Amino acid sequence: MIKLENILVPFVDSPSATGALKTAAIMSRIHQAKLFVLHVNTDKTPSNLLDTIQNICTQEQVKFTFMERSGNICRAINKAEKEMDADIIIMGAYGITGWQQFWVGSNAFKVISTSQCPVITLQNDCNGFNGFQKILLPLDDSEETRQKVNWVLKIAKGFDAEVLIGKTSKSHSDDTKKRLEVYAQQIETILNREGIRNDTIESFGQNVAESCIKMAQAEQCDLISIMTETENSNSFFMGTYAQQLVSTSPIPVMSIHARNIGKHGATGY
C-alpha cells in the first residue's frame, strides 16, 4: 500500500524550485500530507526566502515545517529524508549548480540516485500549475517496468488524472510487442478497476527517452513516471535512458527505484 504522508521539498531561490514547492503544496493539500521545506544554507539565506515559501503555501492553504541545514546539499537532503521518513521528494532539477545536456543538475541527480523514496523533478517553474491532469506511464519489455503502477495510481487518484500507457522499445520484434501488449492489458485492467481514465499509445524502434518525451508532448501529459535502475542494495545509478529523460524532459518526471517497491537488485524503465 503506497502511503503519502510526508513530503520533502528542497528549496532554493530558483524558478524550478518554486514550481516544485507549488506542486508539493497542492499534493500536501490533496493528500493531507505534512509538508517539510528544506533549505541547505551554503552561504547566506536570502532574506525573502521564507516570504516566498509562506506566500506559496498560504495560496494553497497548507501549513509547512521549515528546516534549515548547512553543508553538502545532497547529504543534507538524504539525512532529512530519513529523519522525517519522507514518502516523496519534490525538487527543481536546476538547483544552484546548473544543468547541461544529458546530465541533470548535479544535486538533483545525486538525490535521485541515492534517495530511498521516489523523486519528482521539475525543469521549470510550472507557472499556472493546478495539478497533474495526464500522466504518461511508459512500459518497456522488462518485468520491473510495471512496478511504478502503484505510484501512478496514487498520483492519478489524487488529481483525478488520466493515465496514458506508453508501450515503447528500441526493438521492433514481434516478441517485444506481444510482451508489452500483455503488460499494457494488465495495467489497463487495474486502472479500469480503480476508475481511472486511461488510453494506450505505442512507439517502437526509437530512442526510448526521446520517444517518451515526444509521446508526452504530443498527448499533452504533465508528468512522466519512470523506473531508475539499481546496481545493488547499497549503490544506485540511473540507467542511460532514465538519466537522459530526467535531464532533457521539459515535463516533470517521477523517478522510482525498484527497491522502493521491494525488489532489490532489479532493473526497469
Residues 67 and 153 placed together within one structural domain of the fold: no
Other Cβ atoms closer than 10 A to 116: 15
| Residue 66 pLDDT | 94
Q: One-letter amino acid identity for 52?
A: T
Three cell numbers, residue 186:
494488465
Provide the b/e sequence for 231-251 (b: ≥16 CB within 10 Å): eeeeebebbebbbbbbbbbeb
146 in any annotated domain: yes
State which of 101, 122, 143 marks the end of a domain: 122
Is 96 a residue whose pLDDT tops 60?
A: no
| Residue 104 pLDDT | 42
163 has which bridge partners?
135, 198
- Domain around 114: 6-122
State which of 122, 154, 177 marks the end of a domain: 122
Residues 49 and 165 placed together within one structural domain of the fold: no
1 in any annotated domain: no
Residues 114 and 142 placed together within one structural domain of the fold: no
184 in any annotated domain: yes
Q: Which tens digits make up the pLDDT trace of 62-87?
A: 999 999 988 888 889 999 999 999 99
Residues 116 and 139 placed together within one structural domain of the fold: no
State which of 95, 122, 149 marks the end of a domain: 122
Is 141 a residue whose pLDDT tops 80?
A: no
| Residue 238 pLDDT | 59
267 in any annotated domain: no
Residues 160 and 223 placed together within one structural domain of the fold: yes
Residues 54 and 118 placed together within one structural domain of the fold: yes
| Residue 206 pLDDT | 84
Residues 118 and 139 placed together within one structural domain of the fold: no
| Residue 40 pLDDT | 87
Is 16 a residue whose pLDDT tops 90?
A: no
| Residue 228 pLDDT | 80
244 in any annotated domain: yes
Residues 197 and 226 placed together within one structural domain of the fold: yes
Residues 154 and 196 placed together within one structural domain of the fold: yes
Residues 143 and 216 placed together within one structural domain of the fold: yes
| Residue 106 pLDDT | 63
Residues 112 and 168 placed together within one structural domain of the fold: no
Three cell numbers, residue 210:
526521446
Q: Which tens digits make up the pLDDT trace of 169-196?
A: 888 889 989 989 999 999 999 999 999 9
Question: How many domains in the chain?
Answer: 2
Is 97 a residue whose pLDDT tops 90?
A: no
